[in-house]
Amino acid sequence: MTSTPKRLTQRDIARLAGVSQATVSLVLNNRADADVRIAPETRDRVLRVIAETGYAADPVARRLAARFNRIIGVFTYEPAFPSGTRDFFHPFLVGIEEYAERAGCDLLLFTSAPVVDGRRRIFHQDNRLRLADGCILLGREIDAAELHRLNRDGYPYVAVGRRDDAGGPVPYVGADYASAVGEAVERALARGHRRLAYLRMGSTAESSEDRRRGFVQHAADAESARQLTAAGRGAEGILDELLDDRATAVFVEDYATAVALDLAARRRGLSVPGDLSVLTLGDPTTPVPTEITFSGFHIPREEMGRQAVEVLAGVIDGSATGLPQRLLPCEPVEGETLGTPDPAVERR
């Protein structure tokens, strides 16, 4: 598969022309700030680099240039930087930054929000939402009451992840978890698995509900398709229940639980995937040391970040048609933990 060439940004043009990114922006928009005069030779140098490279300003940047501050807010319901969560949030932020640069926008990370009942809250007496033209919301669970208030106040925002409980429509860019899990189930069925299990964490977030829905819809042809709860339980007890049910393939919501389950099986001398296939339904939410490539799928986190900025720009400038809601396909991972079930295992 050939990779898509990286699109030139204003930063690239500035580097090639030996000027600041702000100067490139002023030249592209054919204007100068009152306190900044661009020398003719500098303008010519920038224009020459633009012509030589074939650079074309992103249409989002052109739409936002004249009427807005071009500042995009980012609010994370969980801390984005501690080591325990950075591996999960980092790709989203990379995608957000990349498209914001392409659109000529600055990012403003809202960090002053207090923690109330263990959760960060957008709205407080000193909130600074209005400093930004709009805001991208990141979080595994986003408060429905705050989404309702954002809708009521008419503040432009986009949620990363599907949301459906805000007292009104929510603009979002999410991952199509139902289809991704359904495809994983179909791969297991095609390998001959007939006794399946789904290991849930007990979350009521839309992302978890979508995963479970995909499992239920596509496991209808299985001999058995049980749902088990992992929350608050050890891997040994979960493994006992899977073995008692003669399950040959288990679909695990939480990556760390899948790693623990694999280790528990190997401690008993069981083979993964020979005795039990283990499929993960997404990427780790916390760093988990393992050398195993689990079968399952990857979440398109960087692309979700990019498209969240694109959608937000349309919400801000009014160019979005209808309710902007996008679900992006996940990338299947063949991995090494989905095998063909041993008939002896199914009879145990």
| Model pLDDT for residues 207-265, shown as the tens digit of each residue | 999 999 999 999 999 999 999 998 888 999 999 999 999 999 999 999 999 999 999 99
CATH number of the structural domain spanning residue 31:
1.10.260.40
Three-state secondary structure call for residue 93: helix
CB of 196 within 8 A of CB of 185? yes
On whether both 198 and 109 belong to a single domain, the answer is no
Domain count of the fold of the chain: 3
For residue 47, the enclosing domain spans 10-57
Residues 168 and 202 reside in one and the same domain: no
Domain assignment present for 161 = yes
Do 34 and 121 lie in one domain? The reply is: no
- Looking at the fold, whether 236 and 339 belong to one and the same domain comes out as yes
pLDDT at 51: 78
CATH of the domain at 147: 3.40.50.2300
pTM of whole model > 0.85? no
In a domain, 203, yes or no: yes
Find all residues with CB under 8 Å of 206, minimum gap 6, and list them: 161, 162, 163, 164, 165, 174
99 and 247 assigned to the same domain = no
Q: Are residues 201 and 341 in the same domain?
A: yes
Query: Is beta strand 249-252 parallel, antiparallel or unpaired with respect to 195-200?
Result: parallel
The string of pLDDT tens digits covering residues 118-143 is 677 888 777 788 888 999 999 877 88
- The model's pLDDT over 76-106, given as tens digits with 9 standing for 90+, comes to 887 766 555 556 788 999 999 999 988 888 8
Q: In this structure, what is the dihedral angle of CA atoms 20, 22, 25, 29, given to the nearest 10 degrees?
A: -130
If asked whether residues 215 and 307 sit together in one domain, one would say no
pLDDT band at 34 (very low <50, low <70, confident <90, very high): very low
Residues 158 and 292 in one domain: no
Pair (119, 188) in one structural domain: no
**Contact assessment for residue 80 and residue 138, using Cβ atoms and an 8 Å cutoff:** yes
Classify residue 1: in a domain, yes or no: no
